[in-house]
Amino acid sequence: MVVSVKQLEKRYGPHRALGGVSLDVEPATLFGLLGQNGAGKTTLIKILLGLVVPTAGEAALLGQPVGTFSARREVGYLPEDHRLPEYHTSTSLLDLYGALQGIPRRQRRRRAAELLDLLGLAGREKLRIRGYSKGMKQRLGLAQALLHSPRVLFLDEPTDGVDPVGRKEIRDLLLEERRRGVTVFINSHLLGEVEQLCDRVAILRKGELMVTGTVADLTRQKASWLVAFDRGVPVSFRFPGATIETVEGGSRLRVSLAPIEGPGAEGAEAIDTFLAAASAAGLRLRHLERERATLEDLYLAIASGGETP
């Protein structure tokens, strides 16, 4: 395991920031930790980096207790709300950080140039960070985290303030890192982002882990469909086991169907027989779409303290 956390607890005085969190992250995973402000995401990352001491429980990084020098060497970190020294340019900053990390000059210059190019910052090397937009600072922060080619990346709200093009570049870069075997641990409150990018997610609420799983499992498909026909469904049309309601201002029907069960039913979809019946009733199909629960549905249900959908 790259990250292994057991019954981890952190109290700040009487305030409990983490209340017994257990979590594992396997190698070469894009892992997303979601939760509202104050949920404990940053605290968890800081414990894994050895920057905050837990009150109780166990935390290991790359098979070693957190905070050990050899584990830290393998880690890149983009802190939340980081501040880069403004009088530097991107090149001089990366050169300084690379030198502090002991990367030989030629190697660090090549790697810096490659990262600035990949992150869309090439051509701005002479501009001081003072003149950077929030998105540019964020991308440079990411270049800083990747400079020594770490095996594990911790990114705290990495795409905060980054425009859509920049987000796409960051996403592509992280997918490439994952392909090379890097494990990426992302804290985010941007659900769509995490849904698109991450293999596995966990949702933290007030210091407690509510769910973990693959994005596919957590957004498992509902047995309902959005359908449009070329005309209204005749009142005489009936289909056993279907609930039909009109949605989206009358332009779509939501058809909820009971799953087909029994011998020989593998792969059979109730929607097929439903559509055949509709066709026999003279209705022509114009739109068909399976409805999915989004990560947002799940998140909102958890954030509001309700049942999971």
Q: Which residues sit at the interface with Mg ion, rule CB under 5 A?
A: 41-42, 80
* Separation of alpha carbons 205 and 176, rounded Å: 30
**Residue from 2, 21, 29, 41 that binds ligand ADP (CB under 6 A)?**
41
* Residue 89 binds which of ligand ADP, Mg ion, none (CB < 5-8 A, kind-dependent): none
Map tokens 């098979």 to a residue.
Answer: 63
Stretch that binds ligand ADP, among 40-48, 92-100, 141-149, 257-265 (CB under 6 A): 40-48
Map tokens 């080619």 to a residue.
Answer: 149
* Residue 38 binds which of Mg ion, ligand ADP, none (CB < 5-8 A, kind-dependent): ligand ADP
Contact assessment for residue 222 and residue 193, using Cβ atoms and an 8 Å cutoff: no
Residues 48-107 binding ligand ADP (CB under 6 A) are none
Q: Is 56 helix (H, G, I), strand (E, B) or coil?
A: strand
**Residue from 4, 29, 43, 90 that binds ligand ADP (CB under 6 A)?**
43
Closest to 298 measured CA to CA, from 34, 17, 41: 34
Measured at the CA of 236, the angle between CA 232 and CA 237, to 5 degrees, comes to 65
Least distance to ligand ADP from the beta carbon of 5, Å? 14
Least distance to Mg ion from the beta carbon of 75, Å? 18
Question: By CB under 6 A, how many residues form the interface with ligand ADP?
Answer: 11
Q: x/- binding map, residues 8-27, to ligand ADP, per CB under 6 A?
A: ----x--x-x----------
**Residue from 3, 39, 155, 257 that binds ligand ADP (CB under 6 A)?**
39
Which of 153, 270 has the CB closer to Mg ion? 153
* Separation of alpha carbons 39 and 206, rounded Å: 4
Contact assessment for residue 9 and residue 54, using Cβ atoms and an 8 Å cutoff: yes
Contact assessment for residue 177 and residue 29, using Cβ atoms and an 8 Å cutoff: no
Stretch that binds ligand ADP, among 35-43, 159-167, 267-275, 287-295 (CB under 6 A): 35-43
Least distance to ligand ADP from the beta carbon of 181, Å? 27
Q: DSSP letter string over 220-287?
A: PEEEEEEEEESSPPPTT---TTEEEEEEGGGTEEEEEEPPP-STT-TT--HHHHHHHHHHHTTPPEEE
Strand partners, 187: 33, 156
Map tokens 């003149």 to a residue.
Answer: 131
Stretch that binds ligand ADP, among 1-9, 32-40, 213-221, 259-267 (CB under 6 A): 32-40
* Residue 143 binds which of Mg ion, ligand ADP, none (CB < 5-8 A, kind-dependent): none
Which of 17, 182 has the CB closer to Mg ion? 17
Q: Is 28 helix (H, G, I), strand (E, B) or coil?
A: coil
Strand partners, 221: 292
Residues 126-145 binding ligand ADP (CB under 6 A) are none
**Residue 51 DSSP one-character state:** S
Which of 34, 253 has the CB closer to ligand ADP? 34
Q: If residue 177 lies in a helix (H) or strand (E), which one and from where to where?
A: helix 164-179
* Residue 236 binds which of Mg ion, ligand ADP, none (CB < 5-8 A, kind-dependent): none
Least distance to ligand ADP from the beta carbon of 15, Å? 6
Find all residues with CB under 8 Å of 171, minimum gap 6, and list them: 193, 196, 197
**Residue from 19, 32, 40, 54 that binds ligand ADP (CB under 6 A)?**
40
- Does position 35 interact with ligand ADP (CB under 6 A)? The reply is yes
Residues that bind ligand ADP (CB under 6 A): 12, 15, 17, 35, 37-43
